[in-house]
Structure 1
Amino acid sequence: MASEREVRARLQRAGQEHLLRFCAELPPGPRAALLAELGALEPEALREHCRRAAAACAHPPGPPPDLAARLRPLPPECVGSASRCDPEMRGLWEEEGNLTWCCL
């Protein structure tokens, strides 16, 4: 297991050293668990993850403005139907719980 000093150095390279802000206040068991979890992270991957999360958070919520223009319904041949399938297949779906009596 990596020491607190090693973990802190790795987190500093990722710009995430604040994750250990309250580490000293933890009891030994939880502290060791935290250090083990953080010690397993790759600094470059963590930095990239945090960068992408911050970028995603900066965008307004909801779908992108051009999404409605790109959405199209599926063609009928790509859509299945429980009411049009053969009785054997319908029985298999019912056994799995994928089809109930109200869907027919």
Structure 2
Amino acid sequence: MASEQDVRARLQRAGQEHLLRFWAELAPEPRAALLAELALLEPEALREHCRRAAEACARPHGPPPDLAARLRPLPPERVGRASRSDPETRRRWEEEGTS
């Protein structure tokens, strides 16, 4: 298992040393579990992940502006077939779906 110093150094390289902010408040078992989890992280990959997450968070929320212009409802002939079917056909479909 990696030592506390090793994990602290790796987190510092990743710019994530704040993850051990409450280290002194943890009991030995939670400390060991946290060290085991953090030891699996690669500093460069963690730094890149956090950078991308921060960029994503800074982007405006919602669909891209051009998406709304491209979305159109489906034409009626493409939807609602079951509701326009005759009662006998709907009954057969209902039986098929529940057997």
TM-score strictly above 0.5: yes
Say if 1:13 and 1:82 are closer, same or farther in 2 by CA, change over 3 A. Answer: farther
Alpha-carbon distance between aligned partners in 2 of 1:92 and 1:40, rounded to the nearest angstrom: 50
In structure 1, list runs of 5 or more residues that go unmatched. 96-104
Equivalenced residue count is 92
When Rg is computed on C-alpha atoms for both structures, the one with the higher figure is: 2
Match of 2:98 among 94, 98, 103: 94
Task: Write 1 or 2 for the structure with the bigger share of helix.
Answer: 2
After TM superposition, the score normalised by the length of structure 1 is 0.69
After TM superposition, the score normalised by the length of structure 2 is 0.72
**More RCO (CA 8 Å, sep 6+):** 2
In structure 2, list runs of 5 or more residues that go unmatched. none
Alpha-carbon distance between aligned partners in 1 of 2:96 and 2:3, rounded to the nearest angstrom: 55
After superposition, the CA RMSD in angstroms is 2.6
1:42-63 deviation line (CA, Å, top 9, x unaligned): 1111111111111111112211
